[in-house]
Structure 1
Amino acid sequence: MFEVYLGIGSNIGDSKMHLQNCIEALNLNIGKVSNVSSVYETEAWGNQNQANFFNQVVQISTDILPFELLKKIKELETHLGRTKTVKWGPRVVDIDILLYSNYHFTAANLQIPHAFLKERRFVLAPLAEINPALIHPILMKKMGILLEECKDTAWIKKIN
């Protein structure tokens, strides 16, 4: 089994409900959900001309290999109502593979750890909440340290 950390987000409709539905679907289709962060409200990242996002990080134990996991996640996003929009645009649900055990690699359609992980406070805060001792497999720093060093100035607010 592999320990995988996923970032989930939503900014269309009832975002809290979409996140809960996403967690349930991940548990049924991807692997056993072993930890879930609080929900964080954040301003949009990348394309700021849209509604605020609600974000969480989910820890899952799975035996699904990375490229198959990516395929299943994309199918799950579609099943949960995501449609193609502009890059970093509004979405019912977004699921990103943040970390996959201690693996690191780059391919055309998948980079592990996630390429922007260390640059996004809305990912680092929930990661540090559920596992502050978790070490980035390339930077060799704990998530709590990466959060302290993060230069992202976007606001973030824990809402539960």
Structure 2
Amino acid sequence: MKILRTTYLSLGSNQGAKLKILQEAINLIAEKIGTISKISSVYKTASWGFKSDDFYNICIVLSTNLNPEDLLSTIHKIEASLGRTPNLSSEYKARTIDIDILLFDDEIIFSKDLNVPHKEMLNRKFVLIPLAEIAPNVLHPIKKQRIKLLVKDCKDTNEIEKTTLKLIRPIPISEKYNYIAIEGNIGAGKTTLVNMIAEDFNAKKVLERFADNPFLPKFYKDNERYAFPLEMSFLADRYQQLTDDLAQFDLFKNFIVSDYYIFKSLIFAQVTLQKEEYFLYRKMFDIMYKEITKPDLYIYLYQNTPRLLENIKNRGRDYEQNIASEYLDKIHNGYNTFIKTEKKLNTLIIDVSDKDFLKNPEDYAAILKTINNCDY
């Protein structure tokens, strides 16, 4: 699990569509930095240190796994994407967006590029007042006083007006879902994605125990002989694992994410079993399926067959190396039929054929954004 740190940011804008820019900044911070837990009211103030249009100012609190240097670098990229140009002089200027790090946990940082706590925050009511609104009892790590008391001591005489304007807090995956199931064909990357999400969002992961199944290597050598015992053992194991893990609420985890769903058993059984075997299998499946908790979101990772074969080859499991492309096509068709006919699941299909979400952070971020923007 990655360590999450609490940081407090100040945001201001006095150019362009100020409220819209603040909302865009909030959305980008949630997407690229961390989970925002609170947003202050929007305050209107005169420009500070120079003459220009009035500012809209807010403060936010969020948790992030970025270190202070990476946090600052990401903030600068967000500012640039929203139209802020570098200020090469020491004078204050109007700007589309200004994002400052006020506090980073209770750390004290003095470096060439970053001072935390922010060196001017105690002199600015447009920072202290919105900060006191969302974090009144937080201690300033140098002054050792609560923010709400530091407001009273502030010498800033500029007027600050609390507006009725509203900004929307992005809801993170950890608050939106209690249980996500991620599925896909053999080699689609579902387990990799589950591990990454569990790591980044402190989720309890439920991983299929396929490596422990003694019938799997035998099945790949002799399909007809070992298909039925393989599918029955998988069904029993998946049912037992999901029943146990989904019933055990973990107080220290935000939600559950699994790399399979029980319906996977039926899809593979349709491909591997003979007609009479499948008829018997379906009876057992229907009994178990009624008892399984349904996911809040069912994700199907689609990979084209050439990419699947490449992934299977690269991960190097001996018993998988002879899997035929026709077999993978049949599995995909089975999932496709299931997705079209199963109306009780909130299903999201994500095409990852041209993505490498393990090595490319932008691909991973795009997947998370797709999941988070899902309307279910």
The alignment's TM-score, normalised by the length of structure 2, stands at 0.42
Match of 2:310 in 1: none
Report the structure, 1 or 2, having the larger helix content.
2
Is 1:158 aligned with 2:174? no
Q: What are the equivalent positions in structure 2 for 1:1-160 lying under 5 Å apart?
A: 1-47=4-50, 49-85=51-87, 87-160=91-164
What value does the CA root-mean-square deviation take over the aligned residues? 0.9
Residue type at the aligned position of 2:78? L
- SS for the counterpart of 1:77 is helix
Question: What per-residue deviation string (whole Å, max 9, x for no partner) do you get for residues 84-103 of structure 1?
Answer: 34532100011000000000
Shift of 1:83: 1.3
Question: What per-residue deviation string (whole Å, max 9, x for no partner) do you get for residues 55-91 of structure 1?
Answer: 0001110010001111110011001111134532100
State the identity %: 39
In structure 2, C-alpha distance between the alignment counterparts of 1:120 and 1:149, rounded to whole Å: 11
In structure 2, C-alpha distance between the alignment counterparts of 1:155 and 1:111, rounded to whole Å: 26
**Which structure has the higher relative contact order (CA within 8 Å, separation 6+)?**
1
Shift of 1:46: 1.7
In structure 2, C-alpha distance between the alignment counterparts of 1:157 and 1:84, rounded to whole Å: 29
**Runs ≥4 residues deviating over 4 A:** none
- SS for the counterpart of 2:150 is helix
In structure 2, C-alpha distance between the alignment counterparts of 1:70 and 1:111, rounded to whole Å: 11
In structure 2, the gaps of 5 or more residues are 165-376
Residue type at the aligned position of 2:116? I
The range that moved more, 75-84 or 116-125, is: 75-84
Match of 2:252 in 1: none
In structure 2, C-alpha distance between the alignment counterparts of 1:3 and 1:126, rounded to whole Å: 17
Shift of 1:145: 0.5
Aligned length: 159
In structure 2, C-alpha distance between the alignment counterparts of 1:78 and 1:140, rounded to whole Å: 34
- SS for the counterpart of 2:60 is strand
Question: What per-residue deviation string (whole Å, max 9, x for no partner) do you get for residues 7-28 of structure 1?
Answer: 0000001111111111111000
Report the structure, 1 or 2, having the larger strand content.
1
In structure 1, C-alpha distance between the alignment counterparts of 2:134 and 2:108, rounded to whole Å: 21
The alignment's TM-score, normalised by the length of structure 1, stands at 0.97
In structure 1, the gaps of 5 or more residues are none
